[in-house]
Amino acid sequence: MIIVIARAEFDPARLEELEPALNAMMRATWEESGCLSYSMAIESRELGICTVVERWADEAALKAHFATPHMAAFNAAIMGAVRTMDAQVFDVVNQRPLMA
């Protein structure tokens, strides 16, 4: 399994304008083969901070995600509004319930 955790800082003045693109991206991604979960949260409207947590079946599914039309549309929609972006990919070799 692959986990992606990304934190972006958007221009707060553009956040409301960007929300439809954020929601469209999330909904379309849920339908992708290999997407185990995809969550996006606005953590601070005042600061324009958004965090994304994604779980993918494997690296191939993540690479296919990057090639989708909705990813291209999302990137075009946020162009110029992103101040900073930190995205990290984690390869998971062991998974277990938190409360066992």
The CATH class given to the 2-91 domain equals: alpha beta
Burial class (CB in 10 A: 0-12, 13-18, 19+), 65: buried
pLDDT given for residue 38 in this prediction: 96
pTM of the predicted structure, to 2 decimals: 0.89
Of 88, 73, 81, 100, residue with least CA distance to 16: 81
For each of the chain's 100 residues, which pLDDT tens digit applies?
A: 999 999 999 999 999 999 999 999 999 999 999 999 999 999 998 999 999 999 999 999 999 999 999 999 999 999 889 999 999 999 999 888 988 7
Q: Which residues of 16-54 are buried (b: 16+ CB within 10 A; e: fewer)?
A: eebeebbeebbebbeebebbeebebeeeeeeebbbebeb
Please give the C-alpha separations between residue 93 and each of 6, 57, 58, 68, 98, in angstroms, as whole numbers: 20, 12, 11, 26, 15
Report yes or no: 38 and 52 within 8 Å, Cβ to Cβ: yes
